[in-house]
Structure 1
């Protein structure tokens, strides 16, 4: 029997072997009552057997409830958020001083390098999450990033610095894909709002980058490019060394605090029902929680069909064009899912242009605005930078609370509010004339922008089916990185000292609000697949 199945093909009883028990229609009816209305994608009849098994897994996760295991995952996956933002911002922080030392011909080379690394990392780790599994990237990616972050501090030239920045970003770039996926696939449905709250780690990574800059750049940097040498310009290298050490510590904590097992939903999608039961029973036993899920209950749903088993019964675990095509097709299995996937990816394109134009080049904005109001000290510049990033931590916290409440219309309403309020502050920012106004408005923008951004990070994995979640996430983050590369080219060609980029960003946030309003799925009160 051909075990390869299109993502759009409905499972039916006649696919079972004669010696296997067919799906009981009464059980289907019972499952549709229990899971159909509550599961977010329950109405998208793609694979009845897989949907039924995912419903049972969701029941088991809800039955176990929230445990200390989930708090560990919240922190350990949050490390990936922090590292992604840390690596993304370091290159913009140190770029000015590194250019004085190396005198490159292309000023935004580091920005392009970091986004290329992030792009390749998102695609690689994203596809591998659906093919190889979530565990490998969780254990390895931060270590890869840590090694090259340290090495970047010793770069002898602008080109080698760009290479190591790119490699460091490759390791960090998969974390936004995997962190949300791993955490979500262990979360009880009533706690899915924590996925939005986890984006606070992103702001923490920005804060740490700002604190390293505040500590080293004012005291260990040259002023004049004509006399700038490695000996009198060690500050930017110290920033890389400190950041690399920090990421290395986080990578060690990931593999020592918890020994991550593959998520139950990934195992179910792979046809490994027994392993999924074992993982859930293990968590329940460790924390003395009930778990009524058994292998027999899963087998009652019928045989799982997987596209990865060849004629000899061997599992194929390679990233091939056929494998990639299968997962991409699965994201468009129904018209509603296809519309959702397209709009989510379009949202990432928009934020991918708006966010770097404002945030990656924020040091330029701060420096130019500071000069106009009489603030030319590096100490003041990086102090304000740290304050702004502190404010960004609290945006996702508020977003998480808003996502919990029906008063804000769930995830979509939270994104609409976040985008529109950010747009207002962008327009107001063009009227800044004093140092205090500059600090106040940039802090407000950092706070409000992360309401939208943090919610989008959480919404994206929630609306993708588990079997293709890594691919959907990877493409979304990859599109975001492509726009980051484009924004670097635009910023190099345009005058970033004018308010024009701010007007562009404000207009993009209006479009984001409109897209959020027409998204077809609302995860509030529903369970992810």
Structure 2
């Protein structure tokens, strides 16, 4: 075979494709996946919203609950931890930064891996990791112990949301996609729970550096440890719920994206059985769509090679070969690599790769490792290469690249603005605007904190309805983000505790609407094959800038209490501009 040709296995037949035709072959392969996923969407719509999806809704909601519960949990214990270890204002942000650092790594790792090995494994493991290290952090005896345990806690809780959002979205019918926004209702509930625990425990069991009253940190500052243990216990209850309350199914759209058609059909049949659907399960056979989409796929392959259509027909006549039709595009590169390796001598310089081989190289496993017998390492390296290739797909030319860049910018800016305010909210609330009045007590601080948490609930509910109006996803996001920025700016001008509470309530309401729609829009706008990767990438950049925010805020607080709020308002305003520039509106569109 000439070096400028590549063999592609489609079922049993062999297609020889020249480098110039590789784009046509890739397009045909991608179209086939989209055909299958569109058929899966129809099947899920026929089955309808049933008991499985509602249980999944509650379990995924626990992920939202846990994420904000721990973010706020770290925030509320920081003053007591500061007193415990005698930290300065600049050092005070280190614990939060290490939490965000862990979330960054966890979000990226679990997001990409969910597109490589599936959504199901991460669904439970992320919260199990969070439980262990949350409980372990409560026993820290030094500050380095504390923030390193928060780092590992972050790797668990940070990987939870990208996976949960993708999993739920890929099981829900198009008629109920608005429930993705309602999931954000669990976000303020997590904050409310943390606020309630903190209000009940911390005022009577904390030492702070705000007052002059003597306090023994060994016997009177146990509240922060107890709070972390309560949060860890609640997270473990969520793990038990995910293990015992529902028999988890792998996402059929993920299975289709990796060529496992038969397994995807089995999942749809199991979903129908769980929901009590009484229709004919033969209607859920995804391979019934072969005939309707055959001509389009043949046309794409015929552009690549004159002999392709005959090979394709031969390869798809057998139902057993249908999975190979989807996976053959990737597996062919492995076969080609093995053939090339066996023909090359150790002293011969490898010939230059053809354009198609270079394009497929990220998907090719490292066969030299396999030849050395290190199969596990080879499989690990193959997963790394596949993950990297998925990441590169987000930056393809055109609308996809523009959407990816804007989404990453939005997540980065919102993470900065949100964390600079909410990560130090108890401190902002404790800073009495009226300098002539006595300092606000710890009890009053957590009472106000609890009120602000409650105000987030209406924002999530309002967002669920507004995204299906003429505003759509983009309009609702932009308006709520601009409103949050303005209310946060007004917060800096508060001169009374009441005005401070009103501004804070508006911020809480609008920011929950903002986040709820953003968590809906991000997985919706990307296809199944890269959905977990895209959500993971968004989580990574969010956590990267989340790491920076506590350190920046801690330094700015040494200058002025109002300065971090003004800067946070500016970041949110820029995020709103990016939302206006998004090229795709997902309202009314099926999730592929």
Give the deviation of 1:442 after TM superposition: 0.5
Q: Secondary structure at the residue paired with 2:432?
A: helix
Q: Please show how residues 341-420 of structure 1 align to structure 2 within 5 Å.
A: 341-369=404-432, 372=435, 374-405=438-469, 407-408=470-471, 410-420=472-482
Aligned alpha-carbon RMSD (Å): 2.5
Give matches, 1:51-70, under 5 Å: 51-70=34-53
Contact persistence 1:84–1:169 (CA under 8 A): no
Deviation at 1:238, TM superposition (A): 1.0
Q: CA deviation at 1:386?
A: 0.9
Number of the residue aligned with 2:189: 204
Describe how 1:162-173 pairs up with structure 2 within 5 A: 162-173=147-158
Q: Which of 499, 503, 506 is the equivalent residue of 2:569? A: 506
TM-score for both structures, normalised by structure 2: 0.79
1:338 maps to 2:401: yes
Note the C-alpha offset of 1:412: 0.4
Distance 1:348 1:241 in 2: 30
Contact 1:92/1:110 (<8 A) preserved = no
Larger radius of gyration: 2
CA distance in 2 between partners of 1:137 and 1:443 (Å): 35
Residue 261 (structure 1) aligns with: 249
Residues 153 and 236 in structure 1, CA contact (< 8 A), matched pair in contact too = yes
Cα distance in 2 for residues equivalent to 1:46 and 1:363: 53
Native 8 Å contact 1:375 1:435 kept in 2: no
Task: Report the equivalent of 1:432.
Answer: 494
1:449 aligns with 2:478: no
Q: For 1:84, which of 53, 67, 88 is the aligned residue?
A: 67
Pairing 1:107-122 to 2, within 5 Å after superposition? 107-122=92-107
Match of 1:472 among 534, 543, 557: 534
Specify the SS of the correspondent of 1:494: helix
Shift in Å at residue 118 of structure 1?
0.8
Q: Provide the residue aligned with 2:200 in structure 1.
A: 215
TM-score, normalised via structure 1 length: 0.88
Distance 1:345 1:239 in 2: 33
Residue 237 (structure 1) aligned with residue 225 (structure 2)? yes
Counterparts in 2 of 1:137 and 1:275: CA distance versus 1, 3 Å: same
Q: Can you give the 5+ residue segments of structure 1 that lack an aligned partner in the other structure?
A: 2-13, 22-43
CA distance in 1, matches of 2:157, 2:290: 39
State which of 275, 285, 293 in structure 1 corresponds to 2:284. 293
Deviation digits for residues 114-162 of structure 1 (CA, Å, limit 9, x no counterpart): 1111111101111110111111110211111111111111111111111
Match of 2:330 in 1: 307
Corresponding residue SS for 1:369:
coil
CA contact (8 A) 1:117 1:166 kept: yes
- 1:421 equivalent in structure 2: 483
The 8 Å contact of residues 74 and 96 in structure 2, kept in 1 or not, is answered as yes
1:231 CA displacement? 1.5
Alpha-carbon deviation of 1:367? 0.9
Q: Distance in 2 between matches of 1:287 and 1:210?
A: 37
How many Å separate the matches in 2 of 1:160 and 1:433?
A: 40
Q: Which residue of 250, 267, 278 corresponds with 2:238?
A: 250
Counterpart CA distance in 2 for 1:49 and 1:442 is 50
* Equivalent position SS for 1:199: helix
Structure 1 stretches of 4+ moved >6 Å = 312-316
1:284 is aligned to 2:348:
no
State how 1:24-173 maps to structure 2 within 5 Å. 47-104=30-87, 106-173=91-158
Partner SS, residue 218 of structure 1: helix
Distance 1:365 1:46 in 2: 54
CA contact (8 A) 1:143 1:171 kept: yes
Work out whether residues 29 and 326 of structure 2, in 8 Å CA contact, stay in contact via their aligned partners in 1: no
1:298 positional shift: 4.9
Residue correspondences, number: 494
Q: Deviations over 1:355-410 (max 9, x none)?
A: 101111111110113674545211110011011111112212111110122x32x1
